[in-house]
A and B are shown apart, each in its own frame.
Chain A
Amino acid sequence: MHETMVAQSLLAAISDEAAKHNAKPIGAKISCGKLWAINDEALCFAFEAIAKGTPCEGVKLDIEHKPIRGQCKKCDQSFEVELGNPLARPGCSKCGSDDFELLPDGPLILEEIELQTD
């Protein structure tokens, strides 16, 4: 459900960028950390709904989910943390310790837009 708010901010950001180039946007690539818990289908649905009748109507979204990272409290190594598998016990890739801190999640980034050319 929080995808609606993300879609609104996204719509504003894509519109701004496209306006700078005086062209119609047709696609956008975004990325975000996995802790954002963004469901692609929900985001695309929300975006499509609010983009109707705006210059962003028809824009296709390409969403990349960046892995979650942790930092080991024992040896300082930073490593990828897999939270999706309840059977896996995440631990440091270097020393194996399970005492780590989650690093701040990857921000939501509008990486790239695609514009229509004549």
Chain B
Amino acid sequence: MKKINVGKKILSENEKYAFENILFLAEQKKLCLNMISSPGSGKTTILTRTISELKNKIKIGVIEGDIQTDIDAERIRATEAPVVQINTNGACHLSAAQISAALKKLPVEDLNLIFIENVGNLVCPSAFELGENGKIVVLSVAEGDDKPAKYPAIFAKSKVLLVNKIDLLSGGQVDFDIERVKVDARRLNKGIEIFPISAKTGEGMADWYDWLIKSVEKK
């Protein structure tokens, strides 16, 4: 038996594309946010409401990632925002190469902000840099308040935490301690912005919009 030292980075292919995307977005001065959550947390509803309500302030385009179907892209298309659907055909996350191809299909020059809606999954997408400017993690109250403690990586890496479906809390059907979520998320990531929202009723969305507008202006 012979041992050989290699010391070679693996997945450099993904990093190569992620770096290209970073350069492209910087050149174009566009903000790109990678939205990550479990399936069913309300990512698409957050996007459709955000796009509609900010229509006169910022131009948003969307890259939709799903294992299959273009159901989500159809919902985005109904808002008249440009959208590109990526079907991963089984893969549990988007890769930087897929984003690179999708960016070429979007009218990037006409946009201020590009959202990537990643495949619904709280674990795998957090390991793949896509070249985005920041990650947005969405947690809906029905999923439980223990998620930052159980899935620390994505909460540690995100710029913003959107706690969605807070309209479910008022009836008392859901046991969810939002203070616990805030403490656990800030323990991992002191600077994380936390916005409790309901994309259904619109509650709390104004603070999220302010953050988005400020972030776009900084570009």
CB-defined contacts of A6 to chain B, threshold 8 Å = 10-11
Query: Which residue of A13, A89, A113 is within 8 Å of B187 (Cβ)?
Result: A89
Contact A109 B7 (CB under 8 A): yes
Q: How far is the CA of A109 from the CA of B13 in the complex (A)?
A: 13
Report how many residues on chain A are interfacial, defined by Cβ distance under 8 Å: 40
Contact A83 B11 (CB under 8 A): no
Determine if A67 is an interface residue (Cβ-Cβ < 8 Å): no
Residues 139-185 of B contacting A (Cβ, < 8 Å): 149-150, 152-153, 156-157, 184
CB-defined contacts of A117 to chain B, threshold 8 Å = 1-2
Q: Chain B contact residues: over half helix, strand or loop, or mixed? A: mixed
Q: Chain A contact residues: over half helix, strand or loop, or mixed? A: mixed
Contact A21 B4 (CB under 8 A): yes
Determine if A107 is an interface residue (Cβ-Cβ < 8 Å): yes
Q: How far is the CA of A21 from the CA of B153 in the complex (A)?
A: 38
Determine if A45 is an interface residue (Cβ-Cβ < 8 Å): no
Interface residues on B, range: 35 or more
Contact B11 A110 (CB under 8 A): no
Q: How far is the CA of A67 from the CA of B190 in the complex (A)?
A: 19
Query: Which residue of A4, A34, A111 is within 8 Å of B5 (Cβ)?
Result: A111
Most chain B CB atoms below 10 A, which of A21, A37, A113: A37
Contact B11 A112 (CB under 8 A): no
Contact B4 A2 (CB under 8 A): no
Contact A115 B2 (CB under 8 A): yes
